[in-house]
Amino acid sequence: MTNTVKAYRAAILHSLADPAVVGVEQSYEYFEDGLLVVEDGRIAQVGHAADLLPTLKGVEVVEYRDALITPGFIDTHIHYPQTGMIASYGEQLLDWLNTYTFPTERQFEDKAHASDVAGIFLKELLRNGTTTALVFGSVHKQSVDAFFEAAQALNLRMIAGKVLMDRNAPDYLTDTAESGYADSKELIERWHGKGRLHYAVTPRFAPTSTPEQLSLAGKLYQEYPDLYMHTHLSENRQEIEWVKALFPERSGYLDVYDHYQLIGARSVFAHGVHLCDEECRRLAETGSAVAFCPTSNLFLGSGLFDLNKLEQHGVRVGLGTDVGAGTSFSQLQSLNEAYKVMQLQGKKLDPFKSLYLATLGGAQALYLDDKIGNFAIGKDADFVVLDYRATPLIAYRMQQAKSLAEKLFALTMLGDDRTVQETFAAGQSVHRR
Ligand SMILES: [Zn+2]
């Protein structure tokens, strides 16, 4: 790779730690007139433009006016095959899967179709400033090949896996315990650790896997030390009752995954809306993470996620869109809904906590905080340029704002894909509005 240095000048904001741990004031770093220096796809320096510019003789400086540079957003739970069925009307989880999801995912048997959708999906993520995501494929291994091929072409840091599903789903969409294990292993050998790609063992959720399949999934997850495990947990009350009926010998939903050795570092459970204290404790002590997916939880009527409860137990929490049940690819829109989820419980969501959830918190949930999540020197240069004048209303609102906190909050309430002026992955521009 050639030795390339480039600098980006704008207001710059990034998280340093969880505000719940260190307090809001210590949780971030902000440069009103900042400079982000990128070398060979990594962060070389960040600071005040006045300090850094004199040290950078001959370096190209790209300036953005009325803009805020933040780390790229991290989506800790999303389904790429469901891109075309986003905003499908009127069901709760289990009916929604049967009515919309399964017929849609059937189409991913066709590799060409999968490649088309992977391209649309990644473009949409980048249009929304999301540079890393933990992604469900379909049950077909070619769906994951298609996804990783598209992600690799853009040099994105992405995590994905083939769905494991050998019961309680249509015949056209099931694998077997053995074939699911073998296909996943083949994909791991082909993609895991290749460039910026990572593999996640991906049982859809406990009800659609037999004990034999969960057992082999656990074996696989333990076979490779840095592998991910990605599934759903305690999203919907009807679903929880179903898990109890299917696994009467287990003490609860999480205990099913625990029994099959599917929890631990790099395991990510989407939703966790209805977790008890004991389950939160177990998630925390095993270093597992939960993906908070506000737009999806509201859309499917699943319930209100108790962020404070998980926080108090020390559970790692990232932010997820859960498209297609989620209604937006935008993490700004996820934060808008997250704020309302908290309000409905009489709680607050500080704007700097929101920034943390969408960036460094997501990186910590994914054990990628040594590589992404903020502008620490040496990390991947994955970042977004947010436009303070994206719409007439945002521009007008920003004129009234008296503090950074006020600006940041208004951006999370009013912002969406229009707010994202440019997105960079490993120092390369991958989307320009
Ligand atoms: Zn999901």
| Centroid of ligand 1 to alpha carbon of 82 (angstroms) | 10
Q: Give the separation between CA 192 and CA 157, rounded to whole angstroms.
A: 11
Q: What is the Å distance from ligand 1's center to 375 Cα?
A: 29
What's the CA-to-centroid distance between 208 and ligand 1, angstroms? 13
Average pLDDT over residues 405-414: 98
Domain map (residue ranges) of the chain: 5-72+374-432, 73-329
Q: What is the mean pLDDT of residues 245-273?
A: 98
What are the Cα distances from residue 235, in Å, to 56, 155, 321?
A: 51, 33, 14
Distance 270 CA to ligand 1 centre (A): 6
Distance 136 CA to ligand 1 centre (A): 8
Query: How many angstroms separate the alpha carbon of residue 77 from the centre of ligand 1?
Result: 6
CA separation for the pair 6, 256 (Å, rounded): 50
**376 CA distance to ligand 1 centroid (A)?**
31
| Res. 1: pLDDT tops 60 | no
Mean pLDDT over 411-419 rounds to 98
In whole angstroms, give the CA distance from residue 421 to residue 432: 6
Helix axes 211-223, 177-191, angle to 10 degrees: 20
Q: Give the alpha-carbon dihedral of 282, 285, 286, 287, to 10 degrees.
A: 120
Rounded to an integer, the average pLDDT of 206-225 is 96
The CATH fold of domain 73-329: TIM Barrel (3.20.20)
Residue 333 · residue 294 · CB < 8 Å: no
Q: How far is CA 154 from the centre of its chain?
A: 18
Distance CA 402, CA 381 (A): 30
Residue 2 has pLDDT above 50, yes or no: no
Q: How far is the centre of ligand 1, averaged over its atoms, from the C-alpha of 164 (Å)?
A: 14
Taking the centre of ligand 1 as the mean of its atom positions, its distance from the CA of residue 34, in whole angstroms, is: 37
Q: Per-residue pLDDT tens for 333-354? A: 999 999 999 999 999 999 999 9
Place of tokens 């040496």: 378
Residue in 319, 365, 296 with CA at minimum distance from that of residue 75: 319
- Ligand 1 centroid–CA 97 distance in Å is 10
Contacts of 297 (CB under 8 A, 6+ apart): 235, 271, 273, 303, 304, 305, 341
**Displacement of CA 141 from its chain's centroid (Å):** 21
How far is the centre of ligand 1, averaged over its atoms, from the C-alpha of 76 (Å)? 10
Asked if residues 160 and 137 have their Cβ atoms less than 8 Å apart, the reply is yes
Average pLDDT, the chain: 97
Cis bond before residue 324 (omega within 30° of 0) = yes
Tell me, in angstroms, the distance from the centre of ligand 1 to residue 419's CA. 26
**How many angstroms separate the alpha carbon of residue 293 from the centre of ligand 1?**
9
What's the CA-to-centroid distance between 221 and ligand 1, angstroms?
19
Question: What integer is the mean pLDDT of 60-78?
Answer: 98
Give the rounded percent of residues in the chain with a pLDDT score beyond 70: 99
pLDDT single digits (tens) 359-400:
999 999 999 999 999 999 999 999 999 999 999 999 999 999
Question: Please, is 249 exposed, middle or buried when counting C-beta atoms within 10 Å of its C-beta (0-12, 13-18, 19+)?
Answer: exposed
Between the CA of 18 and the centroid of ligand 1 the distance, in Å, is 25
Going from the Cα of 297 to the center of ligand 1, the distance in angstroms, rounded, reads 10
d(CA 243, CA 236): 11
Domain topology for 5-72+374-432: Urease, subunit C; domain 1 (2.30.40)
Tell whether the model's pLDDT for residue 105 goes beyond 50: yes
Residue 3: pLDDT band (50, 70, 90) is low
